[in-house]
Homo-oligomer: A and B are copies of this chain.
Amino acid sequence: MRPQALDWSVENCTIARAMAILGERWTVVVLRDIFAGIRRFDDMRQRSGIPRQVLANRLAMLVDNGVLRRVPYREPGARPRHEYRLTEKGFDLYPVLAAVAEWGNRHLADPEGPPVSIVHRDCGAEVRPVLRCAAGHDALEPREVATAPGPGARRR
């Protein structure tokens, strides 16, 4: 039995496009730091150990793609500099980060447990991503969902 998926073209696949941005080795680590409130070049570099050149490239690429924006700031008694902040498009990446963190925590943590967890600010309880359909059905398992051609689908 031939997989149906083969009938559909993937030339305009949005997963491939997303991964052209997110799929570079350090992109998501940079985003992790930015979501954690780290906005400055040297703080990121120190914390994550990314080579300077690569960090500069990654930040520039993320700015080009509208995920980050550069914001000028000035500490008292210092010259003007700039820092990196998320755009709306960048904020929308949070579920991706959360899903990656959840998977990593479950399958790749050291025996003593994961180093960070995501919690609800109000109640302190742990947060995780769940799948929910528009009709309100909840906590779907991969086997309960299917991929369907969308409006931009092209038959081969």
Contacts and interface: CB of A to CB of B under 8 A. Distances in A.
A121 interface: yes
Given A122-B144, A142-B91, A147-B116, A104 B27 contact: no
Interface in A107-150: 107-110, 112-135, 137, 140, 142-150
A37 B133 contact: no
B129 A146 contact: no
B5 A38 contact: yes
B9 A19 contact: no
Interface string A92-115: 111111111111111111101111
Nearest to A147: B116
State how many copies of this chain the complex holds. 2
Contacts of A3: 36-39, 43
Nearest to A107: B89
A17 interface: yes
Interface of A: 3-6, 8-10, 12-20, 22-29, 32-33, 35-39, 43, 46-48, 66, 89, 91-110, 112-135, 137, 140, 142-154
6 contacts: A3-B37, A19-B100, A23-B25, A95-B102, A116-B148, A116-B149
